[in-house]
Structure 1
Amino acid sequence: MKNKKLVSNKKILILGSAVIDVIINIERLPKAGEDITGVQKGQNVGGCAYNVAKILKHLQIKHDLCVPVGNGPYADIIKSELYNRNQSILIEDTSADNGYSLSLVEADGERTFITVDGIETKWSSSWFENIDIQIYDYIYISGYGFQDANDSGDVILSFIRHKRMDCQLILDPGPRLIGKRFKDEVLKMNTILELNEQEAKALAENEDIFLAVEQLYAVTQNPIIVTMGSKGTLCYTSGKSELVPVQIVKAIDTIGAGDSHTAAFIAGIAAGYELRDACVLANDIASRVVQHVGCCVL
């Protein structure tokens, strides 16, 4: 990589899921009842938390990856991948296999997911017994872990309530967004939001992106980082907004682009970067990821 080496002594916890991504290239999404052809391009270990950890490891930023690993063929693939990457397995539970995601990638690089849930949606408080949350300076969480119809959000929320007050949450709400019964509390836990334009508008329930970030900041009192594709990254804090430009590249596959942006942003602020510089780094890494299949930087 051309970026200067990042140095950080911050303790970072990446909390979430690891699943299998089955990637299929299609010309376009089918209409209801239609049959189209596709080309399978790969079967990779993915999941928001795993992707974030993968990029942090590439950037040589120390962190702990907390994802449940189950029992079954998908779990075996994930376990092997974690071993190969020298990632410690903090949670093992044999009650179910890990889930998988069917990732449909259209000709323009846009992706659509169909997810079959596994052990990563069945969080148990016992999983956290050997994890000392008090040591962490930053904790990454995803909206996927806080869905209204799933009790796992209550378990994770109970755990993060014990973090230090100065520990910052980095929340990626994801396309499903964070469940309404968790939203008010989680957004006020010294939380930085890192999300895309559509998610920001939906989370704020406002179609004007600049008003949306103002509303979200009024709740979090922390920076709001919004990726806006080729328009750049909107960084909003303390009544000031700045659009950080992004390099225009040909997108091959946008799977993991948001995760890689979040990971690089975390790396930047953990290394002491100013917010704008952290966004510049995040834009650079994300632009590299979209030029390859799967969440990777070459």
Structure 2
Amino acid sequence: MRLLHLGNVMMDLVLTVPALPERGGDVVATGSRSAPGGGFNVMAAAARQGLPVTYAGAHGSGPFGDRARAALREEGIDVLLAPRPERDTGFVVCLVDAEGERTFVTSPGAEATLRPTDLAQLRPEREDLVYLSGYGLLYEANRAALTAWVPQLDPAVTLIVDPGPLVRDIPADALQLLMARADWWSCNAREAALHTKIDDPAAAAGALRSRLKRGSALVRTGPDGCLLHHDGTLDVIPGFAVRPVDLNGAGDAHTGVFMAALAHGLAPAAAARRANAAAAMAVTVAGPATAPGADALDAFLRQSRPAPR
């Protein structure tokens, strides 16, 4: 049993600025950091729960690719493909202003060059979980490879789809194909609203579930926890009250831990409760890849109770 991740690993270049510069202007950052991001955060969260993880996406040759692979190795994550010799892994510039608002600019790299021949090397077992991100579907090459490969999946393989914040930019035919095959559709409340045009998270979760041919919907509702629309029932899974330090990466921690919990045999509601706890722990630490390890998460769950609704 393992998690096969078909998303994108990139480098995040994060600059803290007092305010965004006007057009043609300049500003001096008050702080900066760089770290692997994108799909790395989800994989790290799952791997820290003891789930074997394989990164099956593309990656490049160069300083960004080298650093991304080193971070994957440090988390015990296998890398399936060889580095692309012709280009480096891409990067994301993130400007964080004084109010905490984040502005992103993405420069795609080798991770946007997935090919059908790459996926031919990937043979999921019936017990495996496969994760797809909506970001990958925005790139023409990746979209063509993935939409040709997904229909060939064994029906026993669990497919988790996270459409991401740009869900409205995903071509409709690709979106429909994934909704027809997904076993879990995992997103936050804002993404659910963008997709369904329904602002109420519970109603949006129901709408998502009605559009899935065989799967269930999970909608994250921030500190309130998450909603599960599974087996015809809507369950409200409460979150945990903590003092947040950095909200970055909470959704990735939630998704990675939820998948690991499912793989380890937990029922969906119990897996969602564990994921809520992991997301709560993640926001108490600065940085993107702050999901806890299994022992720390177990201790938190023994000592904590969900916040009252």
TM range (shorter): 0.7 to 0.9
Q: Equivalent residue for 2:165?
A: 175
CA 1:29 to 1:153, structure 2 compared with 1: closer, same or farther past 3 Å? same
Q: Which residue number in structure 1 is paired with residue 42 of structure 2? A: 52
1:7 match: none
Q: Following the alignment from structure 1 to structure 2, what is the Cα–Cα distance between the partners of residues 262 and 78?
A: 20
* 1:115-194 to 2 correspondences below 5 Å: 115-135=106-126, 137-147=128-138, 150-177=140-167, 178-194=170-186
Cα distance between partner residues in 1 of 2:265 and 2:186: 18
Work out whether residues 105 and 253 of structure 1, in 8 Å CA contact, stay in contact via their aligned partners in 2.
no
Conserved in 2, the CA contact under 8 Å of 1:108 and 1:252?
no
Alignment partner, residue 296 of structure 1: 290
The runs of 5 or more residues in structure 1 that have no matched partner are 1-9
What secondary structure, in the 3-state scheme, does the structure 2 residue paired with 1:104 have?
strand
- CA change 1:251–1:114 in 2 (3 A) is farther
Deviates more, 1:270-279 or 1:75-84: 75-84
> What residue number does 2:198 align with?
206
Q: Which amino acid aligns with 1:188?
A: A
Structure 2 gaps, min length 5: 293-309
Alpha-carbon distance in structure 2 between the residues aligned to 1:151 and 1:119: 11
SS at match of 2:79: coil
Does the C-alpha gap of structure 1 residues 246 and 108 become closer, same or farther in structure 2, counting only changes over 3 Å? farther
Q: What residue in structure 1 maps to residue 65 of structure 2?
A: 75
Pair 216,260 (structure 1): closer, same or farther in 2 beyond 3 Å: same
The residue number in structure 2 matching 1:4 is none
One of 68, 79, 85 as aligned partner of 1:89: 79
Which of the numbers 214, 217, 235 marks the counterpart of 2:209?
217
> What count of residue pairs does the alignment treat as equivalent?
287
Letter in 2 for 1:113: F
Q: Which moved more, 1:113-122 or 1:128-137?
A: 128-137
Q: 1:226 touches 1:235 (CA, 8 Å); kept in 2?
A: yes
Identify the range of structure 1 (70-79 vs 110-119) with the bigger mean alpha-carbon deviation: 110-119
Identity of aligned residues (%): 25
Separation in structure 1 between the aligned mates of residue 101 and residue 38 of structure 2, nearest angstrom: 17
Paired amino acid for 1:262: T
What CA distance in whole angstroms lies between the structure 2 residues aligned with 1:265 and 1:99? 27
Name which of 217, 226, 249 aligns with 1:233: 226
Matched residue, 1:13: 4
Deviations 1:184-217, CA, capped at 9 Å, x for gaps? 1111104311100010011112223332222211
- Determine the C-alpha separation between the residues in 2 that align with 1:134 and 1:61: 15
Change beyond 3 A, Cα 1:112–1:200: same
Q: Deviations over 1:207-247 (max 9, x none)?
A: 23332222211121422111111222111124422221112
Matches within 5 A, 1:238-249: 238-249=231-242
When structure 1 is superposed on structure 2, of 168-177 and 103-112 the one drifting more is 103-112
Q: Which of 224, 244, 247 is the matching residue for 1:251?
A: 244
Q: Give yes or no for contact 2:53–2:77 (8 Å, CA) kept in 1.
A: no
Equivalent residue for 1:101, pick from 92, 97, 103: 92
Per the TM alignment, residue 44 of structure 1 is displaced from its structure 2 partner at its CA by: 0.6
Distance 1:134 1:59 in 2: 20
Structure 1 match to 2:307: none
Looking at structure 2, the residues matched to 296 and 101 of structure 1 have their Cα atoms a distance apart, in angstroms, of 19
Q: Note closer, same or farther for the CA distance 1:151–1:136 as it changes in structure 2 (3 Å cut).
A: farther
Question: RMSD between aligned alpha carbons?
Answer: 2.2
Runs of 4+ in 1 over 6 A off after TM superposition: none
Q: What is the TM-score normalised by the length of structure 1?
A: 0.87
Deviation at 1:53, TM superposition (A): 1.2
Q: Which amino acid aligns with 1:296?
A: T
